[in-house]
Amino acid sequence: MAAGWRTTRRGRTGASRRAAIIALACLLGSTSGLAQSRAAPPRQPNIVILLADDWGFSDVGAFGSEIATPHIDALARAGMRFANFHVSGSCSPTRAMLQTGVMNHRNGLGNMPETIPDEHRGKPGYDTVMNLRVVTIAELMKAAGYRTYLTGKWHLGSDAKRLPEARGYDRAFSLADAGADNFEQRPIEGLYDKANWTENGRPATLPRDYYSSTFVVEKMIEYIEADRDSGKPFLASINFLANHIPVQAPDSDIARYAAMYQDGWTALREARARRAAALGIVPAGTPMVTMPTTRDWQRLDADERAAAVRVMQAYGGMATAMDREIGRLVAHLKTTGDYDNTIFVFLSDNGAEPTNPFASLRNRLFLRMQYDLSTDNIGRRGSFSAIGPGWASAAASPLSGYKFSAAEGGLRVPLIIAWPGHGAIPAGAINDGLAHVTDLLPTLAELADVPLHEGTWQGRSVEPITGRSLVPMLKGAAGSVHGDAPLGYELSGNAALFRGDYKLVRNLPPTGDGRWRLYDIKTDPGETRDLSAAMPDRFAAMLSDYRAYARANGVLDMPAGYTADEQINRYAWEQQGRKRAIKAGLWLGGGLMALALLVWSWRRRRARG
Q: If DSSP codes are grouped into helix, strand and coil, which group holds residue 73?
A: helix
| Number of Cα atoms under 13 Å in the Cβ half of residue 504 | 25
- Measure the CA–CA gap between 75 and 345, rounded to whole angstroms: 9
- Measure the CA–CA gap between 367 and 344, rounded to whole angstroms: 39
For helices 388-395 and 302-335, angle between their N-to-C axes, nearest 10 degrees: 40
Range list of H helices, 336-387: 361-370
Cα radius of gyration rounded to whole Å, the chain: 25
Q: Which of 91, 105, 332, 436 is catalytic?
A: 91
Strands (E), 377-528: 415-418, 429-431, 435-436, 456-457, 460-461, 487-491, 494-499, 502-506, 516-520
Residues 6+ apart with CB under 8 A from 421: 339, 340, 341, 342
What is the identity of the amino acid at 521? Answer: I
Residue 200 to residues 26, 50, 51, 169, 430, Cα–Cα distance (Å): 36, 20, 20, 9, 38
Residue 410 to residues 155, 242, 291, 564, Cα–Cα distance (Å): 19, 17, 13, 13
- Paired with 503 in beta bridges are 498, 519
Q: Any catalytic annotation for residue 155?
A: yes
Residues 6+ apart with CB under 8 A from 35: 22, 25, 26
Residue positions counted in the chain: 609
Range list of H helices, 280-357: 302-335
Q: Which of 155, 244, 453, 482 is catalytic?
A: 155
The torsion angles phi and psi of 178, rounded to 5 degrees, stand at -70, -30
The sign of the torsion formed by the CA atoms of 185, 191, 197, 202 equals positive
- Measure the CA–CA gap between 195 and 186, rounded to whole angstroms: 5
Instruction: Give the CA diameter of the chain.
Output: 98
The four Cα atoms 396, 543, 130, 225 give a dihedral, to 10 degrees, of: -40
- Three-state secondary structure readout of 60-127: CHHHCCCCCCHHHHHHHHHCEEECCEECCCCHHHHHHHHHHCCCHHHHCCCCCCCCCCHHHCCCCCCC
CB atoms within 10 A of CB 1: 7
Q: Any catalytic annotation for residue 91?
A: yes
Residues 6+ apart with CB under 8 A from 33: 229, 230, 231
Catalytic positions are: 91, 155
